[in-house]
Chain A
Amino acid sequence: MVSDRRRDFKLDLWGIVLLVPLLISPFVTKDVLISSLTYQISIGVAATMGIYVMLRMGLLSFSVPSFMTIGGYAAAISATAGWTDIFFLTAISFVAPALVAAPLGAIVLRLKGIYFIFITFIFNEILQILLFETPDLTGGANGIPGVPPATLFGHELAAQPQLVAVTAALAIVAALITFVVTHRFRAEFTSIEENETLAESLGVALWKYRTIGFIASAGVSGLAGFALVNMLSTAHPSLFASWSVNSYIAYAFVGGRGTLLGVAVGSALLIAVTNYFSAFANLSAGLFGVLLIVVMMLAPSGIVGSFVKLADYIRSRSVTRSAPSIKEKQNEFG
């Protein structure tokens, strides 16, 4: 697949447009399944944005659950203390993990490959222990129950459609932030992913752009944490288990890790299929695994990536057909 600025821009915009129905659906249907899928997809999309930003630089970060934890708990603590304004909670859930990511990035971004994956995974485990060991702040094993819903200009957004709409809105905000960051630094990010020695030789400061990406990834993950806490009215360590990152990584790879559209498609598809498979009780995990294997074998660049490849192939075929052959050219010029 050839990277193309204009095409990637359009596909990323489509990824955001695809999220708009999530915002509308709570107000047009009261169907419980659709409501459940809407908020699950919204949270999945927001969390997967955290994976996506780092993948743009070729880094697979497992730290999304930990930044979701920080964002979610920051919002829960603030809301419990009476600061329930949705704009404030959105800001605090973005800024708190971003502030943690800045110094953490200085340490972990020196690492690459399996070492980076390992240290970011370990960070999740450390944070889980910290949650249990700081009951005065985080509620320990009990978490923080009864988190008040967010308010908009003093009005509580407590009704189910409103809760779902807030979750979808946070997913759109996360997607917009991701869109802005990945397009503002697209050349730098993709150059680091493709050939970091060449990028550095041309003047790209690797640490700077990796840190920007890591901070953005932490921030959007924090928004996903806030969305989860606000939806469930509780903040609990079990909501942010380390293994949950596997699902977000699967969403990115199955959808196609090259575009925001891939993130949206992968999240929506896998969450919908997981819900469908849940009807098969013990077989559900196995069926999910088989689906992942099949998709990755048939479409290694993800669903969207495969369609883009197919479009490239068709376009190159049509160009070849329409281009005059050497014999035709010779005839043309006598």
Chain B
Amino acid sequence: MNSVDRAGPASAKNASGDALRVDGIAKRFGGLRVFDPISFELAEDEILGVIGPNGAGKTTLINVMCGMIEPSAGRVHLGQRNITGLPFHSVSQLGVVRSFQQTNTFSKVSVEENLFRAKRFCSKRSGPDLGLDDLLHDFELAGHLDEPSDKLPYGLQKMLGLIMVLATRPRFILMDEPAAGLERRERIRVDRFIEHARKVLRCGILIVEHDMDLVKRLCPTIVVLESGRLLAKGPPVEVLARPDVINAYLGDSAD
């Protein structure tokens, strides 16, 4: 099922027309090279998939883009503004908000309190009704509002984390493996979340993911990272058919 419009950069029309641009960023930890200089752009209202084998540097890429860690070289621009080196919270306040691979909520407090906090922390941004009640209902969280979030099943905790990101009214969402750990029947909720986020906010979404079905469903464009370099970029059907991409995932048959 594909309930999400597969919007590409060309269709990205929004109020500001800003894009999240990565210009030649590289990351090294001492002598360990995570990735070489890579560049790409994520327009508002665009969905961009990032795939690659384990250790390719996908999560580090998100960490650099959201300000959790500084790049060793290169710049990250939000529209005309250079946001490289800005603190994590400042990047978030500018509207570039990330989700986490693992469940990540305020575990001791109720679902309702988690949502209250997410809304409060972004109170400077205002806009149309986010329709969070619809999402809570669709994800079966509406009946758990008074429960501590750590008592929820894993899948619901992950969806709560995503709704909290949406509650901050982001301009760009950086999703780190949103389907990781979800049962196959639960993964359709990621589709529903993205459909909703684009409908109410028309935000740009970057998805790091291993689930190729989900990537193919949602992303009109993907980039492939392999051993810290940008191996390919383009539509999933073309990119995933390339021999070098297949080799990156499965290894060379001659090896």
Contacts and interface: CB of A to CB of B under 8 A. Distances in A.
A109 to B, nearest CB: 14
Contacts of A190: 106, 109
Interface string A187-214: 1101100110111111111100000000
B128 to A, nearest CB: 19
B132 interface: no
Q: Bin the interface of chain B by size.
A: 20 to 34
Interface of A: 1-5, 187-188, 190-191, 194-195, 197-206
Contact of B89 (A1, A187, A195, A203): A203
8 contacts: A4-B110, A187-B117, A187-B120, A194-B106, A194-B109, A195-B105, A198-B105, A201-B104
A201 B120 contact: no
B110 A204 contact: no
B92 A2 contact: no
Given A187-B121, A191-B117, A201 B109 contact: no
A202 B113 contact: no
Provide the main secondary structure of the chain A interface: helix
A13 B93 CA distance: 33
Contact of B108 (A2, A199, A201, A203): A2
B59 interface: no
B66 A2 contact: no
Contacts of B113: 3-5
Interface of B: 66, 87-90, 92-93, 97-98, 100, 104-110, 113, 116-118, 120-122, 148, 164-165, 168
Contacts of B165: 202
Contact of B87 (A3, A4, A5, A205): A205
A110 to B, nearest CB: 13
A225 B227 CA distance: 60
Contact of B93 (A1, A4, A203, A206): A203
B89 A2 contact: no
B106 A200 contact: no
A206 B89 contact: yes
Nearest to A194: B106
Given A5-B113, A204-B121, A191 B97 contact: no
Contacts of B120: 187
B117 A203 contact: no
Nearest to A202: B121
A194 to B, nearest CB: 5
B97 A202 contact: yes
